[in-house]
A and B are shown apart, each in its own frame.
Chain A
Amino acid sequence: MSAVKKQTEDLVNVQVDGHWIQVKKGTRMIEACKQASAEVPHYCYHPKLTSPGNCRMCLVEMGMPPRPAPGQEAELDNDGHAKISWMPRPVIACANSVAEGMGIRTQSTLAKECREGVMEFLLINHPLDCPICDQAGECTLQEYSVEHGKGESRFLENKVKKPKNVDIGPRIRLDDERCVLCSRCVRFTREIVDDDVLGFVDRGSHSVLTVHPDKPLANNYSLNTVDICPVGALTSNDFRFKMRVWFMRETKSVCNGCARGCNILISSRENKIYRQTPRENNEVNSSWMCDSGRLNYHFLESGARLTDPMIKKGKSHETVDWPQAIRRAAEGLLKYKGDEIAIIASARMTNEELYLVRVLADTLGTRNVDTLKCHGEGDDYLSHEDKRPNTNGAKVILKLSSPGSKINSIKRDIESGSIKALLVYGENIASKGFDDGVLSNLKFLVTSHILANPTAKLSGIVLPGAGYAEKRGSMINATGRLQLLNKAIEPPGNSRDDWEILQDLNRAMDGKDFIYELADLFSEMASVVPALKGLTLSGIGEKGVPVIETGETIPLLEREAQRVKQGLIAG
Chain B
Amino acid sequence: MAVPKYIKGKEPHKSEYRMIFRNVDRRGWDASIKSYIADGGYKDLKKALKMKSQEVTDEVKTSGLRGRGGAGFPTGVKWGFIPPDNKKPVYLICNSDESEPGTFKDRYIVHQDPHQLIEGMLISCYAVGAKVAYIYIREEFSEGAKILENAIEEARKKNFLGKKILGGKFNCEIFIHRGAGAYICGEETGLIESLEGKRPYPRIKPPYFPAALGLYMCPTIVNNVESLCHVKHIIAMGGQKYAKIGTPRNTGTRILCVSGDVVRPGYFEVEVGKITMGELINDVCGGLRKGRKLKGVIPGGSSAKVLRAGEKYTIGTGESERTIGINDIPMDFDTLAACGSMAGSGGVIVMDDSRDMAWILNNINTFYAHESCGQCTPCREGSLWMKKITDRMVSGAGVPSDLKTLTSVGDNIAGRTICAFGEACAWPTQSFVAKFPEDFKKHTSRRNAGKELNPESKAAAAGLKR
A and B touch in the complex (CB under 8 A): yes
Partner of B373, one of A96, A121, A124, A203: A203
Instruction: Check A53 for interface membership: any CB of B closer than 8 A.
Output: yes
Q: Are B377 and A56 in contact (CB under 8 A)?
A: yes
Instruction: Check A562 for interface membership: any CB of B closer than 8 A.
Output: no
Which of chain A's residues 32-53 have a Cβ closer than 8 Å to chain B?
51-53
Q: Which residue of B lies closest to A202 (CB)?
A: B374
Instruction: Check B204 for interface membership: any CB of A closer than 8 A.
Output: yes
Whether A206 touches B416, Cβ cut-off 8 Å, given contacts A96-B206, A157-B385, A181-B380, is no
Q: Are A207 and B377 in contact (CB under 8 A)?
A: no
C-alpha spacing A341/B405, complex, angstroms: 84
Task: For residue B425, give the distance in angstroms from its CB to the closest CB of chain A.
Answer: 11
Task: For residue A114, give the distance in angstroms from its CB to the closest CB of chain B.
Answer: 6
Q: Are A157 and B388 in contact (CB under 8 A)?
A: yes
Q: Are A155 and B385 in contact (CB under 8 A)?
A: yes
Instruction: Check A359 for interface membership: any CB of B closer than 8 A.
Output: no
Whether A124 touches B385, Cβ cut-off 8 Å, given contacts A154-B405, A205-B369, is yes
Instruction: Check B371 for interface membership: any CB of A closer than 8 A.
Output: yes
Interface centre among A51, A95, A155, A204 (most CB of B within 10 A): A204
- B residues less than 8 Å from A117 (CB atoms): 378, 411-412, 416
Interface size class of A (residues with CB under 8 A): 35 or more
Task: For residue A53, give the distance in angstroms from its CB to the closest CB of chain B.
Answer: 4
Partner of B374, one of A52, A95, A154, A204: A204
Q: Which residue of A lies closest to B385 (CB)?
A: A124
Instruction: Check A69 for interface membership: any CB of B closer than 8 A.
Output: no
Whether A204 touches B378, Cβ cut-off 8 Å, given contacts A92-B204, A117-B416, is no
Which of chain A's residues 76-91 have a Cβ closer than 8 Å to chain B?
89-90
Which of chain A's residues 201-222 have a Cβ closer than 8 Å to chain B?
202-207
Q: Are A114 and B416 in contact (CB under 8 A)?
A: yes
Instruction: Check A59 for interface membership: any CB of B closer than 8 A.
Output: yes
Instruction: Check A54 for interface membership: any CB of B closer than 8 A.
Output: yes
- B residues less than 8 Å from A118 (CB atoms): 377-378, 412, 416
Which of chain B's residues 171-205 have a Cβ closer than 8 Å to chain A?
182, 199, 201, 204
- B residues less than 8 Å from A156 (CB atoms): 389, 392, 399
C-alpha spacing A157/B390, complex, angstroms: 11
Which of chain B's residues 372-411 have a Cβ closer than 8 Å to chain A?
372-378, 380-385, 388-389, 392, 399, 401, 405, 411
Instruction: Check A172 for interface membership: any CB of B closer than 8 A.
Output: no
Partner of B207, one of A95, A120, A200: A95
Q: Which residue of A lies closest to B371 (CB)?
A: A204
Q: Which residue of A lies closest to B418 (CB)?
A: A53
Interface centre among B370, B384, B405 (most CB of A within 10 A): B384
Q: Are B374 and A53 in contact (CB under 8 A)?
A: no
C-alpha spacing A564/B96, complex, angstroms: 37
- A residues less than 8 Å from B378 (CB atoms): 56, 117-118, 121
Instruction: Check B417 for interface membership: any CB of A closer than 8 A.
Output: yes
Q: Are B416 and A205 in contact (CB under 8 A)?
A: no
Partner of B384, one of A54, A59, A200, A205: A205
Please encode chain A, from 138 to 165, with 1 for each CB lying within 8 Å of some chain B CB and 0 for all others: 0000000000000000111110100000
Instruction: Check B437 for interface membership: any CB of A closer than 8 A.
Output: no
Which of chain A's residues 86-144 have a Cβ closer than 8 Å to chain B?
89-90, 92, 95-96, 113-114, 117-118, 120-122, 124-125
Instruction: Check B415 for interface membership: any CB of A closer than 8 A.
Output: yes
Q: Which residue of A lies closest to B199 (CB)?
A: A200
Q: Are B383 and A120 in contact (CB under 8 A)?
A: no
C-alpha spacing A420/B383, complex, angstroms: 81
Instruction: Check A55 for interface membership: any CB of B closer than 8 A.
Output: yes
Task: For residue A140, give the distance in angstroms from its CB to the closest CB of chain B.
Answer: 13
C-alpha spacing A39/B254, complex, angstroms: 49
Interface centre among A92, A118, A160 (most CB of B within 10 A): A118
C-alpha spacing A256/B389, complex, angstroms: 56
Whether A125 touches B416, Cβ cut-off 8 Å, given contacts A52-B204, A54-B376, A56-B376, is no
Task: For residue B182, give the distance in angstroms from its CB to the closest CB of chain A.
Answer: 8
Partner of B381, one of A53, A54, A124: A124
Please encode chain A, from 360 to 375, with 1 for each CB lying within 8 Å of some chain B CB and 0 for all others: 0000000000000000
Partner of B383, one of A125, A154, A181, A204: A204
Q: Which residue of B lies closest to A122 (CB)?
A: B377
Q: Are A205 and B204 in contact (CB under 8 A)?
A: no
C-alpha spacing A200/B375, complex, angstroms: 10
- B residues less than 8 Å from A96 (CB atoms): 206
Partner of A55, one of B376, B382, B383, B385: B376
- A residues less than 8 Å from B371 (CB atoms): 204
Q: Are B385 and A207 in contact (CB under 8 A)?
A: no
Whether A121 touches B389, Cβ cut-off 8 Å, given contacts A53-B376, A54-B376, A181-B374, is no
Instruction: Check A273 for interface membership: any CB of B closer than 8 A.
Output: no
Whether A154 touches B377, Cβ cut-off 8 Å, given contacts A53-B204, A204-B384, A205-B384, is no
- B residues less than 8 Å from A206 (CB atoms): 374
For chain B, the count of residues having a C-beta within 8 Å of the partner chain is 34
- A residues less than 8 Å from B388 (CB atoms): 157-158
Instruction: Check A180 for interface membership: any CB of B closer than 8 A.
Output: yes
Task: For residue A205, give the distance in angstroms from its CB to the closest CB of chain B.
Answer: 4
- B residues less than 8 Å from A203 (CB atoms): 182, 199, 372-374
- B residues less than 8 Å from A445 (CB atoms): none
Partner of A180, one of B207, B377, B385: B377
Q: Which residue of A lies closest to B382 (CB)?
A: A121
Instruction: Check A333 for interface membership: any CB of B closer than 8 A.
Output: no
Please encode chain A, from 246 to 280, with 1 for each CB lying within 8 Å of some chain B CB and 0 for all others: 00000000000000000000000000000000000
C-alpha spacing A560/B384, complex, angstroms: 38
C-alpha spacing A52/B415, complex, angstroms: 17
Q: Are B381 and A125 in contact (CB under 8 A)?
A: yes
Partner of A90, one of B204, B377, B382, B415: B415
Task: For residue A366, give the distance in angstroms from its CB to the closest CB of chain B.
Answer: 63
Instruction: Check A57 for interface membership: any CB of B closer than 8 A.
Output: yes
- A residues less than 8 Å from B382 (CB atoms): 121
Whether A57 touches B206, Cβ cut-off 8 Å, given contacts A154-B405, A204-B369, A204-B371, is no
- A residues less than 8 Å from B201 (CB atoms): 52, 54
Q: Which residue of A lies closest to B370 (CB)?
A: A204
Q: Which residue of A lies closest to B397 (CB)?
A: A156
Q: Which residue of A lies closest to B198 (CB)?
A: A199
Please encode chain B, from 117 to 148, with 1 for each CB lying within 8 Å of some chain A CB and 0 for all others: 00000000000000000000000000000000
Q: Are A54 and B412 in contact (CB under 8 A)?
A: no
Q: Are B372 and A205 in contact (CB under 8 A)?
A: yes
Q: Are A122 and B204 in contact (CB under 8 A)?
A: no
- A residues less than 8 Å from B384 (CB atoms): 160, 204-205
C-alpha spacing A480/B118, complex, angstroms: 63
Q: Which residue of B lies closest to A95 (CB)?
A: B204
C-alpha spacing A200/B372, complex, angstroms: 14
- A residues less than 8 Å from B405 (CB atoms): 154
- B residues less than 8 Å from A160 (CB atoms): 384
Task: For residue A393, give the distance in angstroms from its CB to the closest CB of chain B.
Answer: 45
Task: For residue B211, give the distance in angstroms from its CB to the closest CB of chain A.
Answer: 18
Task: For residue A570, give the distance in angstroms from its CB to the closest CB of chain B.
Answer: 13
C-alpha spacing A89/B414, complex, angstroms: 10
Q: Are B385 and A204 in contact (CB under 8 A)?
A: no
C-alpha spacing A125/B374, complex, angstroms: 13
C-alpha spacing A4/B418, complex, angstroms: 35
Q: Which residues of A contact B (CB under 8 A)?
A: 51-57, 59, 89-90, 92, 95-96, 113-114, 117-118, 120-122, 124-125, 154-158, 160, 180-181, 199-200, 202-207, 567
Nearest 6 interchain pairs by C-beta: A117-B412, A121-B381, A207-B374, A157-B388, A205-B384, A53-B204
Some 18 contacts from A to B, beta carbons below 8 A apart, are A52-B375, A54-B377, A54-B418, A90-B416, A95-B204, A96-B206, A117-B412, A118-B377, A121-B382, A121-B412, A122-B377, A122-B381, A124-B381, A157-B385, A181-B374, A181-B375, A204-B374, A205-B381
Q: Which residues of B contact A (CB under 8 A)?
A: 182, 199, 201, 204, 206-207, 369-378, 380-385, 388-389, 392, 399, 401, 405, 411-412, 415-418
Q: A57-B377, A207-B374 are in contact. List 8 more A-B contacts (CB 8 A).
A: A53-B376, A59-B416, A92-B204, A114-B412, A114-B416, A118-B416, A121-B377, A204-B371
